[in-house]
Chain A
Amino acid sequence: MIRNNFMRLALSLFVAAIFASAAVHGQTTSSAKPVRQPAPHAIQILKIESTEIKLPPAFQMAIYEDALGEVKKTGIFDEIYRDGDRRVANASDCVILHTDVRGFKQGSARERQVITVAGKTSIKVHMQVLNQDGKVLLEKDIEGKVRFFGENMRATYDLAKSIARTLKDNFQKPAPAAKS
């Protein structure tokens, strides 16, 4: 009887400890997240620059197109403009996404598919979000890679998803004004 009670007590303490640790972990992770700024109305995504690193043109355009698609998917910005779009001149509250390639390692899809752990392709970029006055609102180094499966071009999709995730972590769409 005593032993049975002891077992129940131990089990309840164990469950309580699990809940407590989960709650503490949740608090720490939520506090680690950056403070999200209210998202501007529009964003212009500029063409990917590769001044120092010579990136193949197909990769350059694939990052640009994938970034446009992934940022659109997040739904943070009402308007998304392409590089050179003349409508930006009339847009108020617009930020500019500027991306510069800092590193590129072209792996081999064949090695990845045959050996699995070899042939990684990675692209490192430095992204900046500037407002219309040229003030830097967000700056981060991010990497897109294809490590195990997929063709080399998949690294551009991974990078575009990282760009979109970074924007989502730092900007939030302002809540619609309540109707009075």
Chain B
Amino acid sequence: MLTTSFPTSLPLPFLARCRASARSQPGASRRARAAYRYLCLVIPALLGLALPSQLLGQQSPKPDAPTHVTSVLGFEDLKKNEKCQLEISATAIRLKGSKSTVELAPSSVEDVLTGDDSARLLSGFLGTLTMFAPYSSGRFLSLFRKKLDTITIQYRDPEGGLHGGILAMKAGQAAMLKKRMVDVGARTTVPIEESPKPASSLPGDPNSRKNSERKS
């Protein structure tokens, strides 16, 4: 199926002509032979490159909502930047940290907004150590950053007090997570787009704002 759709038939008449001219004239020009050899090499190489990408494109699964996120801030029982497990059910949005668990009723969530951010690839203790690396190599390592998606959740406690929690996750996962939260009853002021946009570049770039939602 794939071979028929691939445009291999287009250069074949030219290939046949090259071959015919190379065979019919024993002293044929070197240029025709070279062209024939060149095409014999290039076409399989192009096929080899194109086919796996087409196959991958057909088989690549849709990104699923993340189950592991980082709580940046705003959840009282969780520490800042604590990694936690996320469970979304019809009755609760549950964040399990290493020591404590935060549970939110989906109906108490007033707004879910996605955004993007970036973080140093080498972070934490190792990242701090690189600051003392010789020949300013720590600065060089700062060039390498990873993209992140963020989700800002605004929710109310039983007394009506407003809380704002921020979750960070791998790039491209925020839209799916937002969709799942909205499906179980959370509200949002920015409607969900059907096809999630690809993760954008670093914040500060003009292009990076395309993935961030802002209230008008």
Contact = CB atoms under 8 A, between A and B. Distances in A.
Interface of A: 47, 54, 56-58, 60-62, 64-66, 81-87, 106-111, 113-114, 119, 151-153
A129 B145 CA distance: 40
Given A57-B115, A62-B73, A108-B202, A114 B139 contact: yes
Contact of A108 (B72, B161, B165, B203): B203
A84 B119 contact: no
Contact of A109 (B145, B164, B213): B145
Contacts of B152: 57-58, 60-61
A82 B117 contact: no
A83 B162 contact: yes
B159 interface: yes
19 contacts: A56-B212, A58-B113, A58-B115, A58-B117, A60-B164, A61-B152, A62-B74, A66-B73, A81-B161, A83-B161, A84-B160, A84-B162, A85-B159, A85-B160, A86-B160, A109-B145, A110-B118, A110-B204, A152-B203
B159 A119 contact: no
B163 interface: yes
A82 B161 contact: yes
B197 interface: no
A57 B214 CA distance: 7
B150 interface: yes
Nearest to A112: B142
Given A62-B73, A119-B204, A113 B142 contact: yes
Contacts of B64: none
B112 to A, nearest CB: 10
Contacts of B204: 106-108, 110-111, 119
B164 A64 contact: yes
A106 B118 CA distance: 13
B173 interface: no
Interface of B: 72-74, 111, 113, 115, 117-120, 139-140, 142-143, 145, 150, 152, 154, 156-157, 159-166, 202-204, 212-215
B159 A56 contact: no
Contacts of A61: 74, 152, 154, 164-166
Contacts of B203: 106, 108-109, 152
Nearest to A65: B74
Residue among A54, A60, A113 with the highest chain B CB neighbour number at 10 A: A113
Top-9 shortest CB links A-B: A61-B164, A82-B161, A113-B142, A108-B204, A83-B162, A85-B161, A57-B113, A57-B152, A86-B160
B74 A84 contact: no
Contacts of B162: 47, 64, 82-84
Given A85-B161, A110-B145, 15 more contacts: A54-B214, A57-B214, A57-B215, A58-B117, A62-B73, A66-B73, A82-B161, A82-B163, A84-B156, A85-B159, A110-B118, A113-B142, A114-B140, A151-B117, A152-B117
B174 to A, nearest CB: 11
B163 to A, nearest CB: 7
Contact of A113 (B120, B150, B154, B163): B120
Contacts of B139: 113-114
Nearest to A116: B139
Nearest to B157: A82
Nearest to A82: B161
A62 B215 CA distance: 16
A123 to B, nearest CB: 14
